[in-house]
Structure 1
Amino acid sequence: MLTFLLWLLLLIFCWPLALLALVLYPIVWLLALPFRLIGISVEAVLSLLRAILMLPARALRGRHG
C-alpha cells in the first residue's frame, strides 16, 4: 500500500518518470528473478552443508547434555 501511495505521489509530481517506472518494473523483476533463484539455491546448499557438519556436535551434545 505504501508503495502504491509513493507511486501516486511520483505520478503527481513527475508523471513521465512514474510511467517509466511502471513500464520498467516488470522488466527489472524478470531480470532479477534468476539471481533470486540462484540465491535461494545457494542458501539451501549452505544450510545443508552446515547441518551435515554440525551433526556430530549435536550428537555429542545430546548424549552428554
Structure 2
Amino acid sequence: MNFLLLALVWCLLFAVAWPIALVVLLLMPLLWLLSIPFRIVGVLLEAAIAFLRALLFLPARLLGHRG
C-alpha cells in the first residue's frame, strides 16, 4: 500500500513538474542508501529498549504476575 501511494504521488508530480520528478527518481536510491545506517541504529535501539523492559519486568514474571 505504501509503494502504491508513493507511485501515485510520483505520477502526480510527473504530470505537474516532470523535471523535478525525474530528479526525485534519480535521487531516491541515494537517499535509500543514506537511510540504511539510521535504520540499523533504530533496530538496535528498539532491541536495547526491549531488553531493558524484559530485565525490569523479570521479578514480576518470576513472581507469577500475568500482564
In the TM superposition, residue 59 of structure 1 has moved relative to its aligned partner by 1.6
1:16 and 2:16 aligned: no
CA distance in 1, matches of 2:53, 2:9: 41
Indicate the residue corresponding to 2:51 in structure 1. 48
CA distance in 2, matches of 1:57, 1:20: 55
Picking from 30, 34, 39, the partner of 2:37 is 34
TM-score by length of 2: 0.83
TM-score by length of 1: 0.85
More helix by share: 1
Task: Give 5+ residue unaligned stretches, structure 2.
Answer: none
RMSD: 1.3
Task: Give 5+ residue unaligned stretches, structure 1.
Answer: none
In the TM superposition, residue 7 of structure 1 has moved relative to its aligned partner by 0.7
Indicate the residue corresponding to 2:60 in structure 1. 57
Divergent runs of 4+, >3 A: none
Identity across matched positions, percent: 50
